[in-house]
Structure 1
């Protein structure tokens, strides 16, 4: 934990806190936060008013440095090596939660933190766009149905996939459902521009994924048609020959067992 004199800028602490530990001395407040897996920041107002912030409930937060006499203390949960003692201005504050490392950005006397909603996964793409994605296990028999379900869940997009890391994370989730038929999978955002053609000219409509045809050539098992039925859409699936995506019919598809929603983190 790294402790500073500072204030959490929020108009209503009750809205963003998971719990509070009023009556806890400062050193106990910090130690208790450190022992709680979900606590990533402790905030102390005065000597005995202590608040804990839950990683899963907060998407963005701002902390501003204050003067000692104001009696406000903020303790950041971060990873610092025991054999290092960097100067205050050189400390890189990072919240590590699972596979994600999410930095606090310091500008002047302010620290800003921004992450995905809940426990969605964050991926930074080569073009600098940061996306948040999450899979949902739910029978969905069409691409349009998957698009609609993502929208109904909070205005999210059925996401396209643009990196090996994103694809591997979705694929690992898919194969964890080991009782599923081999051909089943998660819908992702992609539909061929020309129906029934074995190519990689896909339309992706999420607004933040750029078509990379080489990516689909490398990781997707593509055919264009099967028994005369066009297969113009894509699923992340345990496909043949080691592929992790497969083209499938866009409608009346009983193999759609879930979908992957996403949004760009602005």
Structure 2
């Protein structure tokens, strides 16, 4: 929804657990349908004392509108107007930077998750994913948030438990773009020696080594419908599947970045040699 705001934006953020408000001139380019507030109410105060409020807009007409976190189904973007001076208009704490691009604007949801406003060239963008999680929009229309979690050597069951502790689950791989992000995360977390991280998914039809490159696999992703299809298994820029270790079927999946080798690999489902997990949740 588009809404022109002529006077203020009020962004709720926290510094040292102190909730504060800043104001800028700008325009809401996209976001959820706002909730109107009675014109007799003070607009910043209405947002400040509403724990679900992430943004308040005050139009020149005097109409105040609140943007609520619980109503957020699309990205929320703010474009600064030409009148913006980038000065903080209503903050009493001297820990705040006088320049908005040096200010951490963080919203904490009711369940304790944090979301950091992103400062862009045009203004601000409120992420749909929690802090440290990366959003991917998949061709099926599903949007997911992912995070790479470094672990010690672990089996798939324990990797799934690690994801669940983050209110997520093991997620499958769909695209080369996702694979590249995963490889980058593994390198950042594990260095050149790298590692192999658990993914969701288990192959239901194993043709053996002779048919591994040509068979259309049936894969049960078991990740709440986040992953669709198996096209990634035929992408030779990503996948290097063998279907067997020579003795046993390898029907589960790791994403690997180790010593410069970056692949999607199939492994024994009972393996405990992986040292991380790729977790996800659905938006």
Coarse TM-score class (shorter-chain normalised): 0.5 to 0.7
Paired position in structure 2 for 1:187: 198
Paired position in structure 2 for 1:135: 148
Q: 1:30 to 1:5 in 2, by over 3 A?
A: closer
Please report the TM-score for the alignment, with normalisation by the length of structure 2: 0.57
In 1, Cα distance between equivalents of 2:5 and 2:256: 46
Paired position in structure 2 for 1:157: 169
In 1, Cα distance between equivalents of 2:154 and 2:10: 46
Q: Report matched runs for 1:60-209 at 5 Å.
A: 61-66=54-59, 97=118, 115-154=128-167, 156-176=168-188, 177-180=190-193, 184-194=195-205, 197=208, 198=212, 199=215, 200-209=217-226
Contact kept in structure 2, 1:221 and 1:239, CA below 8 Å: no
Paired position in structure 1 for 2:92: none
Paired position in structure 1 for 2:101: none
How far residue 6 of structure 1 moved from its aligned partner, in angstroms, is: 5.5
Deviations 1:92-116 (A, max 9, x none): xxx98499x9987xxxxxxxx5510
How far residue 226 of structure 1 moved from its aligned partner, in angstroms, is: 1.0
In 2, Cα distance between equivalents of 1:145 and 1:196: 28
How far residue 172 of structure 1 moved from its aligned partner, in angstroms, is: 1.2
Deviations 1:195-226 (A, max 9, x none): 57435322101123344322111121111111
Match of 1:229, SS state, is coil
Q: CA RMSD in A?
A: 4.5
Match of 1:225, SS state, is coil
Contact kept in structure 2, 1:135 and 1:260, CA below 8 Å: yes
Paired position in structure 1 for 2:14: 17
Q: Across the two proteins, how many residue pairs are aligned to each other? A: 209
Contact kept in structure 2, 1:196 and 1:232, CA below 8 Å: no
In 1, Cα distance between equivalents of 2:19 and 2:280: 32
Identify, as 1 or 2, the structure richer in helix.
Answer: 1
Paired position in structure 2 for 1:238: 257
In 1, Cα distance between equivalents of 2:180 and 2:119: 16
Structure 2 residue 272 is matched with structure 1 residue 253: yes
Structure 2 residue 229 is matched with structure 1 residue 212: yes
Match of 1:220, SS state, is coil
How far residue 238 of structure 1 moved from its aligned partner, in angstroms, is: 3.0
- In the alignment, structure 1 segments of 5+ residues that lack a partner are 32-44, 53-57, 83-94, 105-112
Paired position in structure 2 for 1:221: 240
In 2, Cα distance between equivalents of 1:203 and 1:60: 39
In 2, Cα distance between equivalents of 1:5 and 1:73: 14
